[in-house]
Amino acid sequence: MKDIILIYLLASLAYKFIWRRLVKFLNLSRIVSLPGRNVFGLVISGVNKPEIYVALTKLLAKYNVLPVNSLIVSRNGEVEITTFLDFTSSKISPKKLSEELKRIACIKNVEHIRPLSEGLIVDTYHFPLIVSGERACIFRKSVLKGLFRDIKEKFRDAGKVFLYYQGVKVGENVYEDYKKYVKTSRDILFLFAEAVKAIGWGIVEIVHADFNEKIFLIKLYESIECELCKPANEPCGYFSKGIIAGLLSKLTNTSLKVNEIMCIAKGDPYCLFEAKPVKENY
């Protein structure tokens, strides 16, 4: 038994060590805080040609202005570049830099995003946020804690049931949405796995997917829902479990029951969900 416990602990430590080095964090930078730095935001719009990027890079290098974060969106031959810049070591002002940018032939307009205070800037230029053509909203961990942990503490079993059935509905909606992009059930499932990582919910690994027997085994690493519940004595992924149940039930056209066998909230290295057909009672 001691050997098994030791192996388990070593596996958990190895996973955390490797994961920290493989995962590439992405700071969306809707809010940039660099105390003591002279930061300023520019929204540059123009024709999507290589010249616009070359000219911008040359100007930043010429005046020793450092990019902090940038977002480039192009459509129909037009481009919008949103960039937060650090002018601390530069002798040019944001206004003067904007004037020089406007002289470039392929740049049509330059808008400003001013800092709220020294070193603090918020992207208030863009609203609303859109993901895959639908309006979206970003919740930080401190807000999600109230949605996924506190509701279970306050309402106990009722809160868990509520989260599960909310998840089921989300999973059903995911199916309806994703079938617009891919055709087969297997492709929808693997698109879901990639999307979960893309939105920051966790990292999905499809361990087993038998569409004939309708049995599935899914690992979810770094689940934000379950991370919020640490430490716990039982699995906490009720919302995630509901999403998986709703999606897989749609994919198989069968009512599936999902159990969370392992959970990071209680010290496991990942969350593990098992899905199989609901047994009917006669």
Q: Which of the 8 DSSP states describes residue 117?
A: B
d(CA 158, CA 152): 8
Q: What percent of the chain has pLDDT over 70?
A: 90
Instruction: Give yes or no for residue 4 having a pLDDT over 80.
Output: no
Please tell me whether residue 157 adopts helix, strand or coil conformation. helix
Mean pLDDT of 120-141: 90
The 10s digit of each residue's pLDDT in 46-61 is: 999 999 999 999 999 9
- Is the preceding peptide bond at 231 cis, omega within 30 degrees of 0? yes
CA proximity to 112, closest of 145, 87, 148, 76: 87
Q: How far apart are the first and last CA of the chain?
A: 41
d(CA 13, CA 244): 28
Please identify which residue in the block is written with the tokens 């909203």.
137
Are the CB atoms for 24 and 86 separated by under 8 Å? no
d(CA 63, CA 99): 13
Instruction: Give yes or no for residue 241 having a pLDDT over 50.
Output: yes
Please identify which residue in the block is written with the tokens 């969106």.
73
pTM score of the predicted model:
0.80
Instruction: Give yes or no for residue 5 having a pLDDT over 50.
Output: no
10 Å CB burial of residue 30 (0-12, 13-18, 19+) is middle
Instruction: Give yes or no for residue 15 having a pLDDT over 60.
Output: no
Average pLDDT of the residues of the chain: 90
Domains and their CATH numbers in the chain: 31-127 (3.30.70.260), 140-277 (3.30.1380.20)
Mean pLDDT of 87-102: 97
What pLDDT is recorded for position 3? Answer: 54
The 10s digit of each residue's pLDDT in 154-170 is: 898 999 999 999 999 99
